[in-house]
A and B are shown apart, each in its own frame.
Chain A
Amino acid sequence: EAQLEQPGAEVKEPGESLRISCEGSGYSFSSYWINWARQMPGKGLEWMGRIDPSDSYINYSPSFQGHVTISIDKSIRTAYLQWSSLKASDTGVYYCARHVGSRGYGMDVWGQGTTVIVSS
């Protein structure tokens, strides 16, 4: 069974850095893009960006470009989302989800989400 494993929660202070992970298992990791999406408290989903494990090519949403960095370590089947300087407005749930890489096929496997709380 294909799965994406994410840590449950992180609590940080404004200005701190953070890297959260998304580990894939049960499928051919290089065959699916890994996407990241944010859900702020009580709000909808926002697509942040994606990485193709086969070539590490990344697309970012303009709304997030420059504020987050997406990366990957294929050797351990893990994608990352990181911040160099968190803001209180980064508080939310962050999901990773796989996409087969062909338009229209959607994101069929999601991680459980990492709750990020940024507060002083």
Chain B
Amino acid sequence: AIQMTQSPSSLSASVGDRVTITCRASQGIGNDLGWYQQKPGKVPTLLIYAASSLQSGVPSRFSGSGSGTDFTLTISSLQPEDFATYFCLQDYSFPFTFGQGTKLEIK
């Protein structure tokens, strides 16, 4: 199975900050990676698919990049509603695998 290593596991930041979260795959996955946001007690939502495509309805301050084994989610200017946990998911091959998650907290 492909392992997804996500970092950092937690992050403190302030409103207005630029934030970057990374996922590294244990083998090449092309651009078959998505990023998800989950707020406490809520359902995960898809932010980015195919590594860099913005899901409909998602604010443009979210962006994704990368291909192969290294991927990045960037939030250009943090808003109060962005404090949540973020996961990556590879859907290149079965079994699909999630990263461990990054908890983004208010500094």
Q: Give the B-binding residues of A (Cβ under 8 A).
A: 35, 37, 44-47, 49-50, 59-63, 95, 97, 99, 103-108, 110-113
Interface contact B43-A95, CB-CB below 8 Å: yes
Q: How many Cβ-Cβ contacts under 8 Å join chain A to chain B?
A: 78
Interface contact B43-A103, CB-CB below 8 Å: no
Interface contact B46-A45, CB-CB below 8 Å: no
A112 to B44, CA, bound (A): 9
A110 to B55, CA, bound (A): 14
Q: Give the A-binding residues of B (Cβ under 8 A).
A: 1, 30-34, 36, 38, 43-46, 48-51, 55, 85, 87, 89, 91-92, 94-101
Contacts of B1 in A (CB 8 A): 61-62
A47-B97, A59-B94 are contacts. A106–B30 as well, Cβ < 8 Å? no
A60 to B46, CA, bound (A): 22
Given contact pairs A106-B49, A108-B49, a sample of 20 additional A-B residue pairs in the complex whose CB atoms are under 8 Å apart: A35-B96, A44-B101, A45-B44, A45-B89, A47-B96, A49-B95, A59-B95, A61-B1, A61-B96, A62-B1, A62-B95, A97-B44, A103-B91, A103-B92, A104-B49, A106-B34, A106-B48, A107-B36, A107-B89, A108-B46
Interface contact A110-B87, CB-CB below 8 Å: no
In the assembled complex, the CB of A37 is this many whole angstroms from the nearest CB of chain B, namely 8
- Greatest chain A CB density within 10 A among B48, B85, B97, B99 is at B97
A107 to B31, CA, bound (A): 15
A44-B87, A47-B89, A99-B91 are contacts. A107–B98 as well, Cβ < 8 Å? no
A42 to B81, CA, bound (A): 20
